[in-house]
A = this chain, B = another copy of it.
């Protein structure tokens, strides 16, 4: 069985770990793994060059989590992490002092940047670093070309007529997504998101094939705007999703009107979508009417939304969505696969 998953960072990582766990139990290969082939298509819109190093937050979150090297308590990065190099960079006045680059994490960034400079693609560099961790899941960046999400926010000084930098009242300014997300904790109202480099990008090798050739396509409970939304904008991916024979089952990242993790609300409001499981499901849309999804998993607490969604033509199932343990995440992945099996039947 071939399973393809669209995924962002932390939510995607937990979902993939649960999926792997579920498949090891239900389709074991007799050696601790699974006979199922899992391919993750990972958002790279958060990637950035920082002091000459290519940082890929979502790929690394997934790699560390699946590799058992993640910091469970903090929710991101490597466990046992330290920041000796980062402290030096701050002393030298380079980099972003508010953006943590852990020492262990830097090993990944330096390796990847080195491979990229040697002429390898991001796909190749990702395969190289992932090989160390024996993930049991193939990680594919959505694209080998840089597609960086920038956030356009209202300019400072709007209305005061004397903004520094020559920006007129109400002028917009933009910043890399990670600056908006980490430095400002998504606290500056976003006017819109821009994907820089999108025009020159194509889906990375294997991405379209994994969607077209998959038996199931799952949409992880990741940020619908800047993770899944970004993946969907990459030329080639949307049409592969339209054309695949595989059922496409999505998992809501919103439970009871709040993001399971992170600040998805600030992203959703920028595109005029309510922070609600039904609103996000309708935003993705039913495949029958030109949308993404064949089915949509919402949390049991949101089962009241089912009638409205069914009316809009979206097949919806209410299951426990909280992934507060590997077992719960495995059960959720199992529910998504069960729904896909029904759709294929």
Residues in chain A within 8 A of chain B (CB atoms):
51-53, 82, 84-85, 87-89, 91-95, 103-104, 106-108, 110-111, 113-115, 117, 128-129, 132
* B94 and A115 within 8 A (CB): yes
Across the interface, A92 reaches (CB within 8 A) one of B87, B93, B117, B132, namely B132
Asked whether A110 and B89 contact (CB < 8 A) given A52-B52, A84-B82, A84-B84, the answer is yes
Indicate how many identical chains form the complex. 2
* B114 and A51 within 8 A (CB): yes
| List of B residues within 8 angstroms of A104 by Cβ | 84-85, 88
Min Cβ gap A139→B in Å is 15
| List of B residues within 8 angstroms of A108 by Cβ | 88, 92
8 smallest beta-carbon distances between A and B, as pairs: A88-B107, A52-B114, A92-B111, A51-B114, A84-B103, A94-B111, A85-B107, A52-B117
Min Cβ gap A248→B in Å is 35
* A53 and B84 within 8 A (CB): no
Asked whether A106 and B88 contact (CB < 8 A) given A51-B111, A51-B114, the answer is yes
Shortest Cβ distance from A118 into B: residue: B52
Across the interface, A107 reaches (CB within 8 A) one of B87, B110, B113, namely B87
Asked whether A106 and B85 contact (CB < 8 A) given A94-B111, A94-B114, A113-B52, the answer is yes
| List of B residues within 8 angstroms of A117 by Cβ | 52
Min Cβ gap A2→B in Å is 28
| List of B residues within 8 angstroms of A94 by Cβ | 110-111, 114-115
| List of B residues within 8 angstroms of A95 by Cβ | 114
